[in-house]
Amino acid sequence: MQSMRWLPLEANPDVMNQFLKQLGVCSSWQFVDVYGLDPELLSLVSRPVCAVLLLFPVTEKYELFKAEEEEKIKSHGQDVDSSVYFMKQTIRNACGTIGLLHAVGNNKDKLDFENDSALKKFITESSKLSPDERAKFLERDESIRVTHESSAQEGQSEAPSLDDKVDLHFIAFVHVQGHLYELDGSKLFPVNHGPTSEDSLLEDAIEVCKKFMQRDPDELRFTVVALSKA
């Protein structure tokens, strides 16, 4: 049962970058908009890219696919590298922050942090915990909660009330040890989407994003942002 609830975070690179800055992440890497999925528009994204975030609508078609995917992985199994940083989501509407934590947690060796970075401290202290324990750890972390709340008010659109039903969801894609992982705190485990590399992460993640869009062709509420070298 989900007891805590936060305001949803907007899929806005400026909001996300300010969020990371407030938690002590230096600006050597920045979130940027991905304006389209064709090669010409992807070429406009500065490289390298170390994480991709997708905001998408949670529809009946998606829920059906998610259940089928879970059963398939349970029956066939998958390889997940032990170094993948993954956490469950127990706080309503915290998927944006969890997406950012997944992006940072799997790229902490690339990113630069302030000496007193609250986010680096969180990642370091939770690195040995299980995905469920990390979720509980987040519930108790005041610095991230306060930063999330202020960031949720910063977007271009009016923040919904805590009681509003939100049917949009953030997930992250990262490269770990030669594989592309989809990290979604509402799922039981990371999803391994096959081989990738630092050079091809953006294109490989976009191919998975396209499948989300193809499952709901009538939906327009998709947003993609990339964490790229500034």
- What number of other Cβ atoms are within 10 A of residue 61's Cβ? 14
* SS3 labels along 150-184: HHHCCCCCCCCCCCCCCCEEEEEEEEECCEEEEEC
Which residues have a catalytic role annotated? 95, 169
Residue with tokens 């992250």: 172
* Euclidean distance between CA atoms 95 and 99, whole angstroms: 6
Residue with tokens 């659109």: 157
* Euclidean distance between CA atoms 52 and 39, whole angstroms: 16
* Euclidean distance between CA atoms 58 and 199, whole angstroms: 30
Residue with tokens 């942090």: 113
In 3D space, the residue among 77, 46, 83, 42 whose CA is nearest the CA of residue 179 turns out to be: 83
How does DSSP assign 11-27, residue by residue? S-HHHHHHHHHHTTB-T
